[in-house]
């Protein structure tokens, strides 16, 4: 018996990295996982990993999952995603907003198109998806919404140029965290938990490796499985809500 038995979870950005790790962890605990992202054909992506591969990994480990291709920058695709998952798998109990489109570019060089796309995927899409699943969660008096954030949301020191080009990324994550606490307060009485989770350290994923933020052998990096364990803690009945949590700190707090 798993702690997520009979739960239906949507994990966005589930083709690789943190999203794939969370999808696998939730499935191992009994959830039926809707794995969604844009990447279906590996030949058309600059990064390894597809939603089909994540589903294959889950099923090979005895779990249950289904792949849903969706471009989360498209409002119609977001609506279709939730409608399809609900129709195929049942009401959504857990929503993990992990998908991201990220450009590390200094403000003076940022284009309007890239700026709009980052906010659409990292801020507007989580807002919209939450609105779509909330009616059912409120009706059932239970549910979990988890927004994946980053330490980039914190204010940098003037002398710290290590995250040069990360201003817009940090803006997106700061907005996502404020959305988290606000929504948590709104739905607290309905039994719906809303939290934000970020890694304590950079996670070696295809995205962070591509942007040279870490290396595969970095001894200071955080394995994606740590984020998956922390995500399970926030979506597995701890009763926590309104938290802007860091993965390792949370697990230490909970004695895990």
pLDDT of residue 210: 46
Whether residue 3 lies inside any domain: the answer is no
Whether residue 46 lies inside any domain: the answer is yes
- CA distances (Å), origin 48, targets 88, 172, 187, 206: 27, 24, 37, 7
Q: How many CB atoms lie within 10 A of CB 173?
A: 24
Q: 254 and 197 in contact (C-beta within 8 Å)? A: no
Q: Is 149 a catalytic site residue? A: yes
Range of the domain at 56: 8-253
Whether residue 67 lies inside any domain: the answer is yes
Distance, CA of 37 to CA of 25 (rounded, Å): 17
Whether residue 2 lies inside any domain: the answer is no
Whether residue 212 lies inside any domain: the answer is yes
Q: Which has the closest alpha carbon to 151: 128, 120, 176?
A: 176
Residue in 149, 153, 196, 241 annotated catalytic: 149
Whether residue 1 lies inside any domain: the answer is no
pLDDT of residue 45: 57
β-sheet bridge partners, residue 192? 143
Return the CATH number at 21.
Answer: 3.40.50.720
Residue in 173, 196, 241, 247 annotated catalytic: 173
Q: 125 and 73 in contact (C-beta within 8 Å)? A: yes
Residue in 68, 73, 169, 196 annotated catalytic: 169
Q: Is 7 a catalytic site residue? A: no
Q: 8 and 94 in contact (C-beta within 8 Å)? A: yes
pLDDT of residue 209: 46
Per-residue confidence of the chain (256 residues) as pLDDT tens digits?
Answer: 799 999 999 999 999 899 999 999 999 999 999 999 986 655 455 666 799 999 999 999 999 999 999 999 999 999 999 999 999 999 999 999 999 999 989 999 999 999 999 999 999 999 999 999 999 999 999 999 999 999 989 988 776 665 568 899 999 999 999 999 999 999 999 999 999 999 997 776 655 544 556 566 666 677 889 999 999 999 987 899 999 999 999 999 999 8
Whether residue 144 lies inside any domain: the answer is yes
Q: Is 150 a catalytic site residue? A: no
- Number of domains the chain contains: 1
pLDDT of residue 208: 54
- CA distances (Å), origin 7, targets 64, 92, 94, 100, 128: 11, 8, 7, 24, 21
């Amino acid at each position: 018996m798993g702690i997520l038995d009979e739960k239906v979870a949507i994990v966005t950005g589930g083709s690789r990295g943190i999203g794939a790790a969370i999808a696998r962890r939730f499935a191992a605990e009994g959830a039926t996982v809707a794995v969604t992202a844009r990447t279906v054909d590996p030949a058309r992506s600059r990064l390894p990993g597809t939603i089909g591969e994540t589903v294959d990994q889950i099923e090979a480990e005895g779990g249950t999952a289904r792949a849903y291709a969706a471009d989360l920058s498209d409002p119609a695709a977001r609506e279709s995603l939730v409608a399809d998952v609900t129709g195929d798998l049942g009401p959504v109990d857990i929503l993990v907003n992990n998908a991201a489109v990220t450009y590390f570019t200094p403000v003076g060089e940022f284009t309007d198109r890239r700026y709009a796309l980052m906010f659409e995927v990292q801020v507007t899409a989580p807002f919209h998806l939450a609105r779509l699943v909330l009616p059912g969660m409120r009706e059932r008096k239970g549910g979990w919404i988890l927004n994946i954030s980053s330490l980039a949301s914190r204010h940098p020191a003037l002398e710290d140029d290590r995250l040069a080009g990360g201003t817009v990324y940090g803006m997106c994550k700061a907005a996502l965290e404020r959305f988290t606490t606000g929504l948590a307060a709104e739905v607290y009485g309905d039994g719906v938990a809303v939290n934000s989770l970020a890694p304590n350290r950079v996670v070696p994923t295809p995205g962070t490796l591509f942007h040279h933020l870490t290396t595969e052998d970095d001894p200071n990096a955080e394995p994606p499985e740590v984020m998956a364990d922390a995500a399970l803690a926030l979506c597995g009945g701890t009763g926590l809500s309104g938290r802007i949590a860091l993965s390792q700190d949370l697990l230490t707090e909970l004695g895990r």
